[in-house]
Amino acid sequence: MVSPPAGKTIISKKPYLEFTINGEYIPETLVVLLDGVDITGAVDLKTNGFSYRPILVIPAGEHTITVTIQGSDGLQVQRDFSFSTRHTAEMEEAYSNNDLTFLYESVIEKPDDVTYVPHSRFLANLGSNSKLKEGNWEIRFSTNVRFLDQNIPALKPEKKGLNLANYLLKIKYDKKSLLVSADIGDIQLSETTNTIQNLARRGGRLYIEYNGIEVNTFVVNSQQVFGFREGTGIEGTSDDHIMGVSVEKRSIDGRFKIKGIYITGGEKEGSLGIYSTGGEKKGDVAGLLVSTNLFEGKLTSEAEIDFSNFDPDTADEFDYERDTAYRFKLGGYGGNINYTALYEYIGADYEVIGNQGLQKNRQGFSINGGISLEQYHYIYATYSLYHDNVDNNDLYPTVYSSQAMIGYSFNGIPNMPINLGYQHLILDSTDEPDTDYIVQTDTDVFSANLTYMKNRWNLTFQASHSIQNDKSGNGNDSSTTTVTFTPSYFSDNFSIIPNVSFNRSRFPSSNQRTDTYIINLEMRGKTYHDRVSYELAGTYNRIKASDGSSEQDTLKTNFRISYLLAKNLWGYLNPSVGIRGLYNKSNDRVYNGENEDLVLLLVFTAEMPFSF
The C-alpha atoms of residue 157 and residue 507 are separated, in whole angstroms, by 43
Answer whether residue 585 is part of any domain: no
Answer whether residue 565 is part of any domain: no
Are residue 194 and residue 304 in the same domain, yes or no? yes
In the chain, DSSP finds a helix count (H) and a strand count (E) of 0, 34
- Nearest CA to 142 out of 155, 128, 159 is that of 128
Instruction: Give the 3-state secondary structure of residue 242.
Output: strand
Domain count across the chain = 2
How high is the pLDDT of residue 513?
94
**Spatial contact of 197 and 355, defined as CB atoms under 8 Å apart:** yes
How high is the pLDDT of residue 179?
96
Task: Kindly write down the DSSP assignment for every residue of 254-319, as one continuous string.
Answer: SSEEEEEEEEEEEE-S-BTTB---SS-EEEEEEEEEEEEEETTTTEEEEEEEEEEEEES-TTSS--
Q: Is the alpha carbon torsion for 263, 268, 272, 278 positive or negative? A: positive
Are residue 187 and residue 287 in the same domain, yes or no? yes
- Domain span at residue 186 reads 176-314+327-332+341-354
What pLDDT, in 10s, does the model give residues 410-462? 999 999 999 999 999 999 999 888 766 788 999 999 999 999 999 999 999 99
Instruction: Give the 3-state secondary structure of residue 28.
Output: helix
pLDDT, averaged in runs of 10, over the chain (612 residues): 80 90 83 90 85 88 91 85 92 94 95 90 96 95 96 86 93 94 95 93 95 95 82 84 95 93 87 62 95 93 96 86 96 93 97 88 97 93 96 91 97 94 96 80 97 95 96 88 97 95 94 95 94 96 93 96 90 91 94 92 95 90
Answer whether residue 119 is part of any domain: no
How high is the pLDDT of residue 270?
62
Are residue 237 and residue 347 in the same domain, yes or no? yes
How high is the pLDDT of residue 55?
82
Answer whether residue 437 is part of any domain: no
Answer whether residue 277 is part of any domain: yes
Are residue 309 and residue 187 in the same domain, yes or no? yes
> Which one of 37, 53, 86 terminates a domain?
86
Answer whether residue 548 is part of any domain: no
Angle at 124 between CA 119 and CA 125, to 5 degrees: 140
How high is the pLDDT of residue 56?
84
Residues 6+ apart with CB under 8 A from 516: 502, 503, 504, 505, 541, 542, 543
Are residue 204 and residue 347 in the same domain, yes or no? yes
> Which one of 30, 58, 86 terminates a domain?
86
> Which one of 42, 61, 86 terminates a domain?
86
Answer whether residue 68 is part of any domain: yes
- Nearest CA to 523 out of 541, 499, 554 is that of 499
How high is the pLDDT of residue 582?
96
Answer whether residue 559 is part of any domain: no
Are residue 228 and residue 346 in the same domain, yes or no? yes
Q: Are strands 478-490 and 457-470 parallel, antiparallel or unpaired?
A: antiparallel
pTM: 0.85
Instruction: Give the 3-state secondary structure of residue 592.
Output: coil
How high is the pLDDT of residue 200?
92
CATH label of the domain that carries residue 41: 2.60.40.1220
How high is the pLDDT of residue 436?
64
To the nearest whole percent, how much of the chain has pLDDT over 70? 98
How high is the pLDDT of residue 478?
95
